[in-house]
Chain A
């Protein structure tokens, strides 16, 4: 990104303005559509402005981890498809894709969104494995919040496939949903100039060197945090980020109802 453009965006932020006229803590328009992939046990397409992400949930049966014999398994992956941005390239998952998947995973896991014990079929032998895969369709900033929302929406609408005790009939869904206990919401604050912006666009992210993602639960508790970017943060900025994330998290959670 050109320095003149970065300086313009920072200048606007310092004056309390943004390129698209939003306020500091405004999200762009959010659209959530569930059940978009018939072959997946659960799916959601979420757009935040021009950022667009599909999350798909697939399930299978497998052996539990030896240290948690009575719990199901959750795995979250992310793919930054090169069709979504000039920044993305083919090949194994990039550092950014791995980080995004792990931060989304942490939000789901640490909030206990899914009651893992209810995914156990036979202790130490058979448990349900739940795979959440995040696929970016178009990158216009704030991938993490959009991905976390898509993952939560897809899990919320997922239905178990038919299982007769021996084999799974993929494609034949039951009406039984996953044991959902709460909805974790990620809100990322991007520091531009001296301001913390909510839902930064691709250009705003280019003018920033640090962001903080805070994932909150329905009860307002924090279940995941990740500082990302090459810049530092002051304690006062972290305090402010907590306040905004809890408040915006409540607003976003309503969209999942």
Chain B
């Protein structure tokens, strides 16, 4: 079945990943999947203030997911919403399994994610950018985290839902995945779908994550291999 943008069911949208896009940050990345565009910046590890929020045996990870007011067709009101607070939480918990937070006790690591343009899949694009930004900042990690949503439209399991596909699908299932450890670090679902189909959708999303992972690695190589050779 043809998709509105001509993709096959297991195709991602055109993917661009760049590392080191914000000079002021310790690490940063740009990710676009089709029209959805995310920028992430990492500051830290740096001293944790206020002091009572210090964690004695590891770093405190803070993630902020923010949709820029002009990112959607109808203007988004600036500031946190209930939706964005939930996304901040699941994003943090998607990244946490990858980071050796215990290497930096009593510090904080801040991850800021701005969604510059939104057309479905903003939380997953944000996680893709954040993971590259963390690696770009030189923070020790077990592996990169890649993230994408999948669903089922008609009889077909469909990767990386975009535009109107979000309404046509039986479910919207975003996951985040760490290919090095073969572990799932984020999983959510809205929809109405059988457990068997859900498993197949998860498998398709994992395959999608592997493709994104390759692009993330390439972006880090492009950014750092020339530096090392200098």
**Chain A residues with a Cβ under 8 A of chain B:** 95, 98-99, 101-102, 106, 109-112, 212, 217, 220-235, 238-239, 242-243, 246
Contact = CB atoms under 8 A, between A and B. Distances in A.
B187 A234 contact: no
A228 B90 CA distance: 7
A220 B206 CA distance: 24
B82 A235 contact: no
Q: In which size bucket is the chain B interface?
A: 20 to 34
Given A232-B183, A232-B184, A234-B184, A222 B189 contact: yes
Contact of B198 (A106, A222, A230, A233): A222
A111 B170 CA distance: 11
Interface in B142-196: 171, 173, 178, 181-195
23 contacts: A101-B82, A102-B82, A102-B83, A106-B190, A110-B190, A220-B194, A221-B192, A222-B189, A222-B198, A223-B192, A224-B189, A225-B188, A225-B198, A227-B185, A231-B96, A232-B178, A233-B184, A233-B187, A234-B183, A235-B203, A238-B199, A242-B195, A242-B199
B119 interface: no
B67 interface: no
A243 B195 contact: yes
Interface of B: 82-83, 85-86, 88-90, 92-93, 96-97, 171, 173, 178, 181-195, 198-199, 202-203, 206
Q: Can you list the 3 inter-chain pairs with the closest CB atoms, starting with the nearest? A: A232-B183, A225-B189, A230-B96
A112 B191 CA distance: 10
A214 to B, nearest CB: 8
A227 B184 contact: yes
B85 A222 contact: no
Contacts of B88: 95
A212 B185 CA distance: 11
A212 B191 contact: no
Contacts of B171: 222
Residue from A110, A217, A232 with most neighbouring chain B CB atoms (10 Å): A232
